[in-house]
Chains A and B, each alone.
Chain A
Amino acid sequence: MYKYDQYDQAIVDARVDEFRDQVRRRMAGEMTEDQFKPLRLMNGLYLQLHAYMLRVAIPYGTLDSRQMHMLAHIARKYDRDYGHFTTRQNIQYNWIKLEDAGDILADLATVEMHAIQTSGNCIRNISSDQYAGAAADEVTDPRPWAELLRQWSTFHPEFSYLPRKFKIAVIASDEDRAAMRLHDIGIQLVEREGKLGAAFYVGGGMGRTPMIAPLIKDFVPIEDFLSYSEACLRVYNRYGRRDNIYKARIKILVHEIGADEYRRQVEEEFAHVKTLGIDPPVAELERITAFFAPPAFEAGITDSVDRSDPDFAVWLDQNVKAHKQAGYAIVNISLKKTGDIPGDASSAQIDVMADIAKDYSFDELRVTHAQNIVLPHVAKRDLYAVWQKLVEADLAAANLDLISDIIACPGLDYCSLANARSIPVAQKIAKRFADPARQRDLGELKLKISGCINACGHHHAGHIGILGVDKKGTENYQLSLGGSGAEDTSIGKITGPGFDEDGIVDAVERVTDKYIQLREGDERFLDTYRRVGFDPFKEAIYG
């Protein structure tokens, strides 16, 4: 894992000092709320319905146990004893007091963490593949490149007041576990003739107008990585729309001028930017890469796992994934037990996960965009012990990628922009499908819920998506089908008129019943949907 040196630490410490000063000026009335807002937002401090919310960055979703314990400490000391892991691999605290915000940032800085650029119209936390460094199919670990982007984008003087927020994801496998093409820039590291480079997809996003990013450049030589990123951003900063907040994302620019014209402008800018010397030397790339060297895996350890405990075997089959190293496995901890609030974890649970990571996963954890936690490097001989500890902490739900592994945004329970509540709908659906055998029979089914069109819950990318809308002052839910945030990226299609809270649960069930009826062989829901199309499902829903 990356470790701060004196420079990284000094920058984060200075930020704490700066934010304390900004809060002081705000509380002393030297700044209006309007002036304070963009500043607090660049520090991840939102004003929600009931309190301030603080969003803490977890760069590319990677943490060690010390950092994870700190997240628990903050939940205990400054919040109501829990935190909410988000689709952007961050964590949010929902009940923060303004006067505590400086102390929280100071606490975070002691473990090399911060809330820098977790909101605001700037380059946000860089997200990545939660299996980075553990997946057999990656050409390289994407995280050094994400870290390089983190440093480059931190307080980037030219890109702090972009037309709109800007999200970048970096992956290094053909299998996309990070919804790469639904980001403003999605980067896939690739190899060509033995050389590392990056494919740049630009102009994806969700929100009101979901778009899948087109390929802008299939191979950017790795030594041009930052220059090319800078050129992409500069074109956007200059020409992205500023007249209409709903048209300000880069996806609209790329859509309006076309991918070819955008590419032409970027290439032209790049030719100039490349002369400025902004790409760090190879030595710096090597320095960063060295932090992500594989841990000291033991060679020759057993590859077999005792499956005699049936509950354990179920969890093993559902939540544990293949590791590139023989004798090891990737463990997914679901934060979606039936009745849970998706993505929420108590401070006690966060501590338990930290302890397990320290003892069994080379001190590493990951946060996933599906709001779960990963222990990336667990020896297979330890899996049973790990599972037992998870069971004890109520963290052993065996439902990864099943219908109850729901992504849901905070919705109307917290969010001032919401049209409808997301959390109770997620809970009701999980309850309706509570029977584990039924869930497993339905197979992979990604259900995602947003409380409004901003799409924080990725509903466009859900195999089944649910969107909260406001219908004459009452909460109403639209259903969409056929989205995907994986390498076969697609945007879901709205089925028709919406439903009330119970109606939407029934509608989901009609969809899954129809799927059971129509599926062939071992087709997933999404495969069946793509084969038979929209109409049979529509008919099943509306009769």
Chain B
Amino acid sequence: MGNLRFRDDAALDQPAVALSAFLDQSNATAVRLEPGEDARLLIPHLDRIALIEVAFPKFRDGRGYSAARILREAGYAGELRAQGDVLVDQIREMRRCGFDSFVPDKPLDAAVVKTTLERYDNVYQRAADAAVPVWKLRHG
């Protein structure tokens, strides 16, 4: 399996433009964020963006997780894609941070992705997904 998408809408077939190009012009509706770039610069433009692609050149570089949450916290509802060195054991955390599509460099095994995503029934903290933290379950 190559790419993964957890959305019902049709995928955009526009290439994502670099952040600087996006901010300079533009009528682009897809933008790409590199790890060192500030996701907050996109906040004024979120209503016209359909796809934000967050680059993970190395799986160890976790800045994209914060970028994703910041975008979701700002109300972004479009496609949020993790692209690059994305490993199966990271999909769950990425989903929790708000990513809903994945374009990994190396294809992922669909069966492993499925078990990975279904393994944990509970989470300890609120994040950008709909999962209810256990403190909420404990106290209603």
What residues of chain A have their CB less than 8 Å away from a CB belonging to chain B? 5, 7-8, 10-11, 14, 17-18, 21-22, 25, 30, 35, 38-39, 121, 151-152, 154-163, 226, 234, 237-238, 242, 272, 276-278, 280-281, 283-284, 287
From residue A343, how far is it (CB to closest CB) to chain B in Å? 30
- In the bound assembly, the distance between CA atoms of A159 and B87 in angstroms comes to 16
- Which of A22, A25, A280, A283 touches B133 (beta carbons < 8 Å)? A280
- In the bound assembly, the distance between CA atoms of A155 and B125 in angstroms comes to 9
Inter-chain contact B65/A38, CB cutoff 8 Å? no
Query: With an 8 A cutoff between CB atoms, is B105 at the interface?
Result: no
Query: With an 8 A cutoff between CB atoms, is B47 at the interface?
Result: no
Q: Which residues of A contact B6 (CB under 8 A)?
A: none
Inter-chain contact A242/B35, CB cutoff 8 Å? yes
Inter-chain contact B124/A151, CB cutoff 8 Å? yes
Query: With an 8 A cutoff between CB atoms, is B127 at the interface?
Result: yes
- Tell me whether chain A's interface is mostly helix, strand or loop, or mixed: helix
15 A-B residue pairs with CB within 8 Å: A7-B134, A10-B122, A39-B89, A151-B124, A157-B93, A157-B127, A158-B69, A163-B62, A234-B66, A242-B63, A276-B126, A280-B139, A283-B138, A284-B135, A287-B138
A282 (CB) vs chain B CBs: closest residue? B139
Among the interface residues A10, A17, A160, which one has the most CB atoms of the partner chain B within 10 A? A160
Q: What's the A-B contact tally at a CB cutoff of 8 Å?
A: 102
Inter-chain contact B63/A11, CB cutoff 8 Å? no
Inter-chain contact A278/B65, CB cutoff 8 Å? no
Inter-chain contact A284/B61, CB cutoff 8 Å? no
Inter-chain contact B126/A11, CB cutoff 8 Å? no
Inter-chain contact A157/B97, CB cutoff 8 Å? yes
A286 (CB) vs chain B CBs: closest residue? B139
Q: Which residues of A contact B60 (CB under 8 A)?
A: 38, 121, 161
Query: With an 8 A cutoff between CB atoms, is B123 at the interface?
Result: yes
Inter-chain contact A155/B93, CB cutoff 8 Å? yes
A5 (CB) vs chain B CBs: closest residue? B138
A8 (CB) vs chain B CBs: closest residue? B134
The 4 closest A-B pairs by CB, nearest first: A161-B62, A157-B96, A280-B135, A7-B134
Inter-chain contact A237/B124, CB cutoff 8 Å? no
Among the interface residues A25, A162, A280, which one has the most CB atoms of the partner chain B within 10 A? A280
- In the bound assembly, the distance between CA atoms of A30 and B87 in angstroms comes to 12
Query: With an 8 A cutoff between CB atoms, is B8 at the interface?
Result: no
Inter-chain contact B62/A7, CB cutoff 8 Å? no
Inter-chain contact B93/A160, CB cutoff 8 Å? yes
From residue A96, how far is it (CB to closest CB) to chain B in Å? 21
From residue B126, how far is it (CB to closest CB) to chain A in Å? 5
B125 (CB) vs chain A CBs: closest residue? A152
Inter-chain contact B121/A14, CB cutoff 8 Å? yes
Q: Which residues of A contact B27 (CB under 8 A)?
A: none
Inter-chain contact B63/A238, CB cutoff 8 Å? yes
Inter-chain contact A162/B62, CB cutoff 8 Å? yes
Interface hits, B45-96 → A, CB 8 Å? 59-63, 65-67, 69, 73, 87, 89-90, 92-94, 96
Inter-chain contact A155/B124, CB cutoff 8 Å? yes
11 additional contacts, CB 8 Å, given A280-B139, A284-B138?
Answer: A14-B119, A14-B121, A18-B116, A21-B112, A38-B60, A155-B120, A158-B66, A159-B65, A160-B93, A242-B63, A283-B139
Q: Which residues of A contact B97 (CB under 8 A)?
A: 157-158
Query: With an 8 A cutoff between CB atoms, is B25 at the interface?
Result: no
- In the bound assembly, the distance between CA atoms of A158 and B129 in angstroms comes to 12
- In the bound assembly, the distance between CA atoms of A10 and B136 in angstroms comes to 16
Q: Which residues of B contact A8 (CB under 8 A)?
A: 134
Q: Which residues of A contact B133 (CB under 8 A)?
A: 280
Query: With an 8 A cutoff between CB atoms, is B115 at the interface?
Result: yes
**Given known contacts A7-B134, A121-B60, A157-B97, is B121 in contact with A276 (CB within 8 Å)?**
no
Inter-chain contact B73/A276, CB cutoff 8 Å? yes
Query: With an 8 A cutoff between CB atoms, is B137 at the interface?
Result: yes
B94 (CB) vs chain A CBs: closest residue? A157
- In the bound assembly, the distance between CA atoms of A276 and B133 in angstroms comes to 13
Inter-chain contact A18/B61, CB cutoff 8 Å? no
Inter-chain contact B121/A155, CB cutoff 8 Å? no
Inter-chain contact A7/B137, CB cutoff 8 Å? yes
Inter-chain contact B73/A272, CB cutoff 8 Å? yes
- Bitwise, B91-111 to A at CB < 8 A (1) or not (0) is 011101100000000000100
